[in-house]
Structure 1
Amino acid sequence: MTNILVLGAHGKIAQLATAMMVQHHDLHLTLFLRNAQRLADQASDQVKVVEGDAGQPADLKAAMTGIDVVYANLAGSNIEDQAKNVVAAMDAAGVKRLIWISTLGIYDEVPGKYGEWNHQQLDGGYLETYAAAAKVIEASDLETTVIRPAWLSNHDEINYETTQKGEPFKGTEVSRKSIADLVTKLVLDPSQAIHESLGVNKPNTDGDKPAWY
Protein backbone atom coordinates (compact mmCIF):
# COMPACT_ATOMS: atom_id res chain seq x y z
CA MET A 1 0.00 0.00 0.00
CA THR A 2 1.34 3.41 -1.00
CA ASN A 3 -0.01 6.40 0.91
CA ILE A 4 -0.54 9.54 -1.18
CA LEU A 5 -1.23 13.01 0.23
CA VAL A 6 -3.05 15.28 -2.24
CA LEU A 7 -2.64 18.95 -1.29
CA GLY A 8 -5.19 21.30 -2.83
CA ALA A 9 -7.43 18.32 -3.49
CA HIS A 10 -10.42 20.39 -4.63
CA GLY A 11 -8.51 21.73 -7.66
CA LYS A 12 -9.67 20.57 -11.08
CA ILE A 13 -6.47 18.66 -11.93
CA ALA A 14 -6.35 17.14 -8.45
CA GLN A 15 -9.92 15.85 -8.76
CA LEU A 16 -9.13 14.28 -12.15
CA ALA A 17 -5.96 12.70 -10.74
CA THR A 18 -7.84 11.41 -7.71
CA ALA A 19 -10.39 9.71 -9.98
CA MET A 20 -7.51 8.00 -11.81
CA MET A 21 -5.58 7.02 -8.69
CA VAL A 22 -8.54 5.39 -6.92
CA GLN A 23 -8.66 2.86 -9.77
CA HIS A 24 -5.42 1.46 -8.33
CA HIS A 25 -6.36 -0.34 -5.14
CA ASP A 26 -2.80 -0.43 -3.81
CA LEU A 27 -2.96 3.36 -3.40
CA HIS A 28 -4.43 5.00 -0.30
CA LEU A 29 -5.29 8.69 -0.72
CA THR A 30 -5.50 11.50 1.82
CA LEU A 31 -7.29 14.49 0.28
CA PHE A 32 -6.23 17.76 1.96
CA LEU A 33 -8.28 20.89 1.33
CA ARG A 34 -9.51 24.00 3.13
CA ASN A 35 -13.18 22.92 3.21
CA ALA A 36 -13.44 19.16 3.66
CA GLN A 37 -17.21 19.22 3.05
CA ARG A 38 -16.56 19.89 -0.64
CA LEU A 39 -15.15 16.37 -1.07
CA ALA A 40 -16.94 14.58 1.77
CA ASP A 41 -18.59 12.24 -0.74
CA GLN A 42 -15.14 10.95 -1.76
CA ALA A 43 -14.44 9.39 1.65
CA SER A 44 -14.08 5.59 1.64
CA ASP A 45 -11.84 2.81 2.91
CA GLN A 46 -9.34 3.96 0.28
CA VAL A 47 -9.79 7.73 0.59
CA LYS A 48 -9.50 9.94 3.67
CA VAL A 49 -10.62 13.58 3.48
CA VAL A 50 -8.94 16.04 5.84
CA GLU A 51 -9.45 19.76 6.33
CA GLY A 52 -6.36 21.93 6.34
CA ASP A 53 -4.60 24.97 4.95
CA ALA A 54 -1.15 24.69 3.36
CA GLY A 55 -0.52 28.18 4.72
CA GLN A 56 -0.63 26.68 8.23
CA PRO A 57 2.45 24.54 9.06
CA ALA A 58 0.64 22.64 11.82
CA ASP A 59 -2.07 21.47 9.40
CA LEU A 60 0.52 20.10 6.99
CA LYS A 61 2.53 18.44 9.74
CA ALA A 62 -0.57 16.64 11.01
CA ALA A 63 -1.38 15.35 7.51
CA MET A 64 2.10 13.92 6.79
CA THR A 65 2.00 10.92 9.14
CA GLY A 66 2.59 7.69 7.24
CA ILE A 67 2.68 9.38 3.83
CA ASP A 68 4.90 8.03 1.02
CA VAL A 69 4.26 10.54 -1.79
CA VAL A 70 3.01 14.13 -1.69
CA TYR A 71 1.24 15.57 -4.74
CA ALA A 72 0.86 19.34 -4.34
CA ASN A 73 -1.76 21.06 -6.48
CA LEU A 74 -1.61 24.39 -4.66
CA ALA A 75 -2.37 27.94 -5.75
CA GLY A 76 -2.60 31.45 -4.37
CA SER A 77 -0.57 34.60 -3.86
CA ASN A 78 1.17 32.95 -0.88
CA ILE A 79 2.37 29.98 -2.96
CA GLU A 80 6.01 30.60 -1.96
CA ASP A 81 5.12 30.37 1.74
CA GLN A 82 3.05 27.27 1.03
CA ALA A 83 6.09 25.73 -0.69
CA LYS A 84 8.27 26.47 2.34
CA ASN A 85 5.65 24.95 4.64
CA VAL A 86 5.36 21.79 2.51
CA VAL A 87 9.14 21.29 2.47
CA ALA A 88 9.40 21.84 6.23
CA ALA A 89 6.52 19.46 7.00
CA MET A 90 7.94 16.76 4.71
CA ASP A 91 11.40 17.14 6.24
CA ALA A 92 9.97 16.89 9.76
CA ALA A 93 8.02 13.73 8.85
CA GLY A 94 10.83 12.14 6.82
CA VAL A 95 8.72 12.10 3.64
CA LYS A 96 10.88 12.42 0.52
CA ARG A 97 8.84 12.24 -2.70
CA LEU A 98 7.09 15.40 -3.92
CA ILE A 99 5.21 16.10 -7.16
CA TRP A 100 4.69 19.87 -7.47
CA ILE A 101 2.40 21.56 -10.00
CA SER A 102 3.79 24.89 -11.19
CA THR A 103 3.27 26.77 -14.46
CA LEU A 104 5.00 27.38 -17.76
CA GLY A 105 7.37 30.33 -17.99
CA ILE A 106 8.99 30.17 -14.55
CA TYR A 107 12.45 29.93 -16.14
CA ASP A 108 11.61 32.31 -19.00
CA GLU A 109 11.72 29.15 -21.14
CA VAL A 110 8.77 29.92 -23.42
CA PRO A 111 10.13 31.07 -26.80
CA GLY A 112 8.98 33.60 -29.37
CA LYS A 113 5.64 35.38 -29.61
CA TYR A 114 3.99 32.86 -27.29
CA GLY A 115 6.60 33.62 -24.63
CA GLU A 116 5.89 37.35 -24.97
CA TRP A 117 2.12 36.73 -24.75
CA ASN A 118 2.59 34.49 -21.71
CA HIS A 119 4.54 37.24 -19.94
CA GLN A 120 1.81 39.77 -20.76
CA GLN A 121 -0.81 37.46 -19.26
CA LEU A 122 1.07 36.26 -16.18
CA ASP A 123 3.58 38.95 -15.16
CA GLY A 124 2.76 41.25 -12.28
CA GLY A 125 2.67 38.72 -9.47
CA TYR A 126 1.59 35.31 -10.74
CA LEU A 127 4.66 34.19 -12.68
CA GLU A 128 7.07 35.68 -10.15
CA THR A 129 5.49 33.98 -7.15
CA TYR A 130 5.23 30.60 -8.88
CA ALA A 131 8.88 30.88 -9.94
CA ALA A 132 9.89 31.68 -6.35
CA ALA A 133 7.90 28.69 -5.06
CA ALA A 134 9.54 26.35 -7.59
CA LYS A 135 12.97 27.60 -6.45
CA VAL A 136 12.08 26.63 -2.88
CA ILE A 137 11.07 23.15 -4.05
CA GLU A 138 14.16 22.63 -6.22
CA ALA A 139 16.53 23.89 -3.50
CA SER A 140 15.16 21.37 -0.99
CA ASP A 141 16.70 17.97 -0.24
CA LEU A 142 13.47 16.25 -1.31
CA GLU A 143 13.02 13.96 -4.33
CA THR A 144 11.04 16.39 -6.44
CA THR A 145 9.32 16.58 -9.80
CA VAL A 146 8.11 20.02 -10.87
CA ILE A 147 5.38 19.97 -13.54
CA ARG A 148 4.99 23.05 -15.77
CA PRO A 149 1.76 22.74 -17.77
CA ALA A 150 0.99 24.78 -20.86
CA TRP A 151 -2.27 26.75 -20.82
CA LEU A 152 -4.92 24.35 -19.56
CA SER A 153 -8.04 23.12 -21.35
CA ASN A 154 -10.92 20.95 -20.15
CA HIS A 155 -10.77 18.72 -23.24
CA ASP A 156 -11.54 15.07 -22.49
CA GLU A 157 -8.25 13.77 -23.85
CA ILE A 158 -4.89 12.42 -22.73
CA ASN A 159 -2.34 13.64 -25.25
CA TYR A 160 0.92 15.21 -24.14
CA GLU A 161 4.67 15.41 -24.51
CA THR A 162 7.29 16.79 -22.13
CA THR A 163 10.35 19.00 -22.22
CA GLN A 164 13.10 19.26 -19.64
CA LYS A 165 14.36 22.28 -17.72
CA GLY A 166 16.84 24.08 -19.97
CA GLU A 167 14.92 23.17 -23.14
CA PRO A 168 12.57 25.59 -24.92
CA PHE A 169 8.92 25.02 -24.01
CA LYS A 170 6.85 23.41 -26.80
CA GLY A 171 3.21 23.92 -27.73
CA THR A 172 0.67 26.30 -26.25
CA GLU A 173 -1.95 24.14 -24.54
CA VAL A 174 -2.59 20.87 -22.72
CA SER A 175 -5.64 19.24 -21.14
CA ARG A 176 -6.05 19.04 -17.38
CA LYS A 177 -6.73 15.33 -17.90
CA SER A 178 -3.25 14.96 -19.44
CA ILE A 179 -1.62 16.54 -16.38
CA ALA A 180 -3.66 14.24 -14.14
CA ASP A 181 -2.42 11.25 -16.17
CA LEU A 182 1.21 12.33 -15.73
CA VAL A 183 0.72 12.80 -11.98
CA THR A 184 -0.85 9.34 -11.71
CA LYS A 185 2.03 7.74 -13.64
CA LEU A 186 4.55 9.38 -11.28
CA VAL A 187 2.59 8.24 -8.23
CA LEU A 188 2.51 4.66 -9.54
CA ASP A 189 6.26 4.73 -10.24
CA PRO A 190 7.76 7.39 -7.95
CA SER A 191 11.29 6.55 -9.15
CA GLN A 192 10.56 8.38 -12.44
CA ALA A 193 11.59 11.99 -13.10
CA ILE A 194 13.25 12.66 -9.74
CA HIS A 195 14.95 16.08 -9.68
CA GLU A 196 13.37 16.91 -13.03
CA SER A 197 11.22 19.84 -14.06
CA LEU A 198 8.88 18.82 -16.86
CA GLY A 199 7.22 21.18 -19.30
CA VAL A 200 4.01 19.52 -20.50
CA ASN A 201 2.14 20.33 -23.71
CA LYS A 202 -0.17 18.82 -26.29
CA PRO A 203 1.87 17.93 -29.42
CA ASN A 204 1.48 20.07 -32.53
CA THR A 205 -0.06 23.06 -30.75
CA ASP A 206 2.72 25.57 -31.47
CA GLY A 207 1.45 29.09 -32.03
CA ASP A 208 1.45 32.66 -30.76
CA LYS A 209 -1.15 31.84 -28.08
CA PRO A 210 -3.61 29.05 -27.19
CA ALA A 211 -6.28 28.31 -29.81
CA TRP A 212 -9.14 29.65 -27.68
CA TYR A 213 -7.62 33.17 -27.34
Structure 2
Amino acid sequence: MTNVLVLGAAGHIAKFARQDLLDNSDVKITDYLRRANRLQVINADRESVIEGDTTDQPTLEKALKNIDIVYANLAGSNIEQQAKSIVATMDKQQVKRLIWISTLGIYDEVPGEFGKWNHSMLDGGYLQTYGAAAKVLETSDLDYTIIRPAWLSNNDEVDYELTQKGEPFKGTEVSRKSIGVLVSRLIQKPTTEIKSSLGVNKPNTDGNKPAWY
Protein backbone atom coordinates (compact mmCIF):
# COMPACT_ATOMS: atom_id res chain seq x y z
CA MET A 1 0.00 0.00 0.00
CA THR A 2 1.33 3.44 -0.96
CA ASN A 3 1.50 6.20 1.64
CA VAL A 4 1.17 9.76 0.31
CA LEU A 5 1.85 13.02 2.13
CA VAL A 6 -0.25 15.90 0.75
CA LEU A 7 1.25 19.30 1.53
CA GLY A 8 -1.32 22.08 1.37
CA ALA A 9 -4.09 19.54 1.60
CA ALA A 10 -6.95 22.04 1.91
CA GLY A 11 -6.41 23.42 -1.59
CA HIS A 12 -9.02 22.91 -4.31
CA ILE A 13 -6.71 20.87 -6.56
CA ALA A 14 -5.62 18.77 -3.59
CA LYS A 15 -9.25 17.98 -2.77
CA PHE A 16 -9.81 16.63 -6.29
CA ALA A 17 -6.58 14.61 -6.10
CA ARG A 18 -7.52 13.16 -2.71
CA GLN A 19 -11.01 12.24 -3.88
CA ASP A 20 -9.71 10.51 -7.00
CA LEU A 21 -7.12 8.57 -5.00
CA LEU A 22 -9.73 7.43 -2.51
CA ASP A 23 -12.10 6.40 -5.32
CA ASN A 24 -9.58 4.66 -7.56
CA SER A 25 -6.76 3.27 -5.41
CA ASP A 26 -5.92 1.89 -1.98
CA VAL A 27 -3.50 4.74 -1.23
CA LYS A 28 -3.35 6.02 2.35
CA ILE A 29 -3.16 9.80 2.69
CA THR A 30 -1.58 12.03 5.31
CA ASP A 31 -2.95 15.56 4.97
CA TYR A 32 -0.51 18.29 6.04
CA LEU A 33 -1.53 21.93 6.37
CA ARG A 34 -1.02 24.99 8.55
CA ARG A 35 -4.59 25.12 9.90
CA ALA A 36 -6.15 21.71 10.27
CA ASN A 37 -9.62 23.16 10.87
CA ARG A 38 -9.72 24.23 7.21
CA LEU A 39 -9.74 20.61 6.05
CA GLN A 40 -12.74 18.36 5.64
CA VAL A 41 -11.53 14.76 5.77
CA ILE A 42 -13.13 12.71 3.00
CA ASN A 43 -12.42 9.22 4.37
CA ALA A 44 -11.34 8.94 8.01
CA ASP A 45 -10.31 5.30 7.51
CA ARG A 46 -7.64 6.24 4.97
CA GLU A 47 -6.76 9.84 5.84
CA SER A 48 -4.92 11.33 8.79
CA VAL A 49 -4.16 15.00 9.44
CA ILE A 50 -1.02 16.77 10.66
CA GLU A 51 -0.97 20.50 11.36
CA GLY A 52 2.28 22.15 10.41
CA ASP A 53 4.17 24.53 8.16
CA THR A 54 6.38 23.22 5.37
CA THR A 55 9.25 25.35 6.65
CA ASP A 56 8.99 23.68 10.09
CA GLN A 57 11.45 20.90 9.35
CA PRO A 58 11.09 18.94 12.63
CA THR A 59 7.31 18.63 12.15
CA LEU A 60 7.71 17.88 8.46
CA GLU A 61 10.33 15.25 9.26
CA LYS A 62 7.88 13.44 11.53
CA ALA A 63 5.17 13.66 8.87
CA LEU A 64 7.49 12.03 6.31
CA LYS A 65 7.91 8.86 8.37
CA ASN A 66 6.84 5.84 6.27
CA ILE A 67 5.83 8.10 3.35
CA ASP A 68 6.42 6.91 -0.23
CA ILE A 69 5.31 9.95 -2.26
CA VAL A 70 4.99 13.66 -1.47
CA TYR A 71 2.49 15.81 -3.35
CA ALA A 72 2.95 19.56 -2.77
CA ASN A 73 0.05 21.92 -3.47
CA LEU A 74 1.55 25.11 -2.06
CA ALA A 75 1.51 28.87 -2.50
CA GLY A 76 3.01 31.98 -0.96
CA SER A 77 5.74 34.53 -1.47
CA ASN A 78 8.14 32.17 0.36
CA ILE A 79 7.58 29.30 -2.07
CA GLU A 80 11.33 29.02 -2.78
CA GLN A 81 12.04 28.69 0.96
CA GLN A 82 9.31 26.05 1.19
CA ALA A 83 10.89 24.13 -1.68
CA LYS A 84 14.31 24.19 -0.01
CA SER A 85 12.83 22.96 3.28
CA ILE A 86 10.93 20.15 1.59
CA VAL A 87 13.92 18.98 -0.46
CA ALA A 88 16.22 19.00 2.57
CA THR A 89 13.73 17.13 4.76
CA MET A 90 12.90 14.58 2.07
CA ASP A 91 16.63 13.95 1.60
CA LYS A 92 17.06 13.47 5.34
CA GLN A 93 14.17 10.99 5.47
CA GLN A 94 15.23 9.31 2.20
CA VAL A 95 11.93 9.97 0.44
CA LYS A 96 12.55 10.45 -3.29
CA ARG A 97 9.26 10.97 -5.15
CA LEU A 98 7.80 14.49 -5.29
CA ILE A 99 4.90 15.90 -7.33
CA TRP A 100 4.90 19.70 -7.29
CA ILE A 101 2.26 22.17 -8.51
CA SER A 102 3.79 25.26 -10.10
CA THR A 103 2.42 27.61 -12.76
CA LEU A 104 2.68 28.31 -16.47
CA GLY A 105 5.27 30.79 -17.66
CA ILE A 106 8.17 30.02 -15.31
CA TYR A 107 10.43 29.23 -18.30
CA ASP A 108 9.00 32.01 -20.48
CA GLU A 109 7.47 29.15 -22.47
CA VAL A 110 4.06 30.71 -23.17
CA PRO A 111 4.05 32.02 -26.75
CA GLY A 112 2.37 34.92 -28.51
CA GLU A 113 -0.16 37.38 -27.16
CA PHE A 114 -1.22 34.99 -24.41
CA GLY A 115 2.38 34.87 -23.21
CA LYS A 116 2.49 38.67 -23.05
CA TRP A 117 -0.82 38.75 -21.17
CA ASN A 118 0.35 36.06 -18.77
CA HIS A 119 3.47 38.11 -18.02
CA SER A 120 1.37 41.20 -17.42
CA MET A 121 -0.73 39.28 -14.90
CA LEU A 122 1.98 37.28 -13.11
CA ASP A 123 5.15 39.37 -13.24
CA GLY A 124 6.24 41.26 -10.16
CA GLY A 125 7.18 38.29 -8.02
CA TYR A 126 4.87 35.39 -8.86
CA LEU A 127 6.63 33.97 -11.92
CA GLN A 128 10.03 34.74 -10.46
CA THR A 129 9.42 33.05 -7.11
CA TYR A 130 7.73 29.99 -8.63
CA GLY A 131 10.53 29.71 -11.16
CA ALA A 132 13.11 29.84 -8.37
CA ALA A 133 11.24 27.11 -6.47
CA ALA A 134 11.17 24.91 -9.58
CA LYS A 135 14.93 25.35 -9.94
CA VAL A 136 15.40 24.09 -6.38
CA LEU A 137 13.69 20.85 -7.39
CA GLU A 138 15.47 20.57 -10.73
CA THR A 139 18.89 20.84 -9.08
CA SER A 140 17.99 18.30 -6.38
CA ASP A 141 18.41 14.54 -6.48
CA LEU A 142 14.67 13.95 -6.02
CA ASP A 143 12.44 12.10 -8.48
CA TYR A 144 10.28 15.15 -9.08
CA THR A 145 7.46 15.98 -11.45
CA ILE A 146 6.63 19.67 -11.81
CA ILE A 147 3.12 20.49 -13.04
CA ARG A 148 2.56 23.85 -14.76
CA PRO A 149 -1.20 24.36 -15.16
CA ALA A 150 -2.80 26.86 -17.48
CA TRP A 151 -5.22 29.35 -15.92
CA LEU A 152 -7.51 27.37 -13.67
CA SER A 153 -11.28 27.00 -14.01
CA ASN A 154 -13.85 25.33 -11.77
CA ASN A 155 -15.39 23.38 -14.65
CA ASP A 156 -16.56 19.89 -13.67
CA GLU A 157 -14.51 18.08 -16.30
CA VAL A 158 -11.35 16.07 -16.83
CA ASP A 159 -9.88 17.18 -20.15
CA TYR A 160 -6.21 17.95 -20.55
CA GLU A 161 -3.11 17.58 -22.69
CA LEU A 162 0.57 17.81 -21.77
CA THR A 163 3.63 19.63 -23.02
CA GLN A 164 7.17 19.06 -21.83
CA LYS A 165 9.76 21.57 -20.70
CA GLY A 166 11.32 23.09 -23.79
CA GLU A 167 8.08 22.92 -25.78
CA PRO A 168 5.77 25.92 -26.30
CA PHE A 169 2.86 25.95 -23.88
CA LYS A 170 -0.54 25.17 -25.43
CA GLY A 171 -3.97 26.56 -24.62
CA THR A 172 -5.01 29.11 -22.02
CA GLU A 173 -7.03 27.24 -19.39
CA VAL A 174 -7.61 23.91 -17.64
CA SER A 175 -9.90 22.76 -14.84
CA ARG A 176 -8.73 22.25 -11.29
CA LYS A 177 -10.36 18.82 -11.44
CA SER A 178 -8.17 17.90 -14.41
CA ILE A 179 -5.02 18.80 -12.48
CA GLY A 180 -6.20 16.84 -9.45
CA VAL A 181 -6.85 13.75 -11.54
CA LEU A 182 -3.44 14.10 -13.24
CA VAL A 183 -1.80 14.19 -9.80
CA SER A 184 -3.75 11.09 -8.79
CA ARG A 185 -2.65 9.25 -11.94
CA LEU A 186 0.98 10.12 -11.30
CA ILE A 187 0.72 8.86 -7.72
CA GLN A 188 -0.85 5.63 -8.93
CA LYS A 189 1.94 5.22 -11.53
CA PRO A 190 4.83 6.82 -9.67
CA THR A 191 7.57 5.80 -12.11
CA THR A 192 6.05 7.93 -14.90
CA GLU A 193 7.23 11.46 -15.77
CA ILE A 194 10.26 11.32 -13.47
CA LYS A 195 12.30 14.54 -13.63
CA SER A 196 9.71 16.06 -15.95
CA SER A 197 8.12 19.50 -15.99
CA LEU A 198 4.67 19.24 -17.53
CA GLY A 199 2.63 22.05 -19.03
CA VAL A 200 -1.06 21.17 -18.69
CA ASN A 201 -3.94 22.72 -20.64
CA LYS A 202 -7.38 21.89 -21.95
CA PRO A 203 -7.15 21.16 -25.68
CA ASN A 204 -8.49 23.72 -28.14
CA THR A 205 -8.42 26.65 -25.72
CA ASP A 206 -5.88 28.71 -27.64
CA GLY A 207 -6.39 32.46 -27.48
CA ASN A 208 -4.98 35.74 -26.25
CA LYS A 209 -6.25 35.05 -22.72
CA PRO A 210 -8.64 32.65 -20.92
CA ALA A 211 -12.23 32.77 -22.18
CA TRP A 212 -13.63 34.23 -18.95
CA TYR A 213 -11.37 37.35 -19.06
TM range (shorter): over 0.9
Letter in 2 for 1:45: D
> How many pairs were matched up?
213
- SS of 2:59's partner is helix
1:32 aligns with 2:66: no
- Residue 203 of structure 2 corresponds to 203
Matches of 2:27 and 2:41, distance apart in 1: 18
Q: Secondary structure of the residue that 2:5 maps to in structure 1?
A: strand
Give how far 1:36 is off: 1.0
Counterpart of 1:15 in structure 2: which amino acid? K
| SS, match of residue 80 in structure 2 | helix
Contact 1:170 1:201 in 2 (8 A): yes
8 A contact 1:42–1:49 mirrored in 2: no
Aligned to 1:103: 103
Evaluate the alpha carbon distance shift between residue 69 and residue 41 of structure 1 in structure 2; reply closer, same or farther with a 3 A threshold: closer
Structure 1 residue ranges (4+ consecutive) displaced by more than 4 angstroms after TM superposition: none
Corresponding position of 2:186: 186
Q: Contact 1:40–1:49 at 8 Å: present in 2 too? A: no
Match of residue 136 from structure 2: 136
- By how many angstroms is 1:43 displaced? 5.7
TM-score by length of 2: 0.98
Change (3 A) 1:25 1:145: closer
Q: How has the CA–CA distance of structure 1 residues 176 and 8 changed in structure 2, closer, same or farther, with 3 Å as cutoff?
A: same
Say whether 1:155 aligns with 2:155. yes
1:26 offset after TM fit, Å?
A: 1.9
Mind listing any 5+ residue stretches in structure 1 that lack a counterpart? none
Q: TM-score, normalised by structure 1?
A: 0.98
Does the 8 Å contact 1:43/1:49 carry over to 2?
A: no
The answer (yes or no) to whether the contact 2:105–2:118 under 8 Å persists in 1 is yes
Coordinate RMSD, CA, aligned: 1.0
Structure 1 equivalent of residue 81 of structure 2: 81
Q: Which runs of 5+ in 2 are unaligned?
A: none
Percent identity over the alignment?
64
C-alpha deviations, 1:166-204, integer Å up to 9, x for none? 000000000000000100000000010001100000000
Looking at structure 2, the residues matched to 41 and 198 of structure 1 have their Cα atoms a distance apart, in angstroms, of 29
Q: Secondary structure at the match of 2:23?
A: coil
SS at match of 1:134: helix
CA distance in 1 between counterparts of 2:176 and 2:40 reads: 22
Matched residue, 1:120: 120
Q: Distance in 2 between matches of 1:46 and 1:24?
A: 13
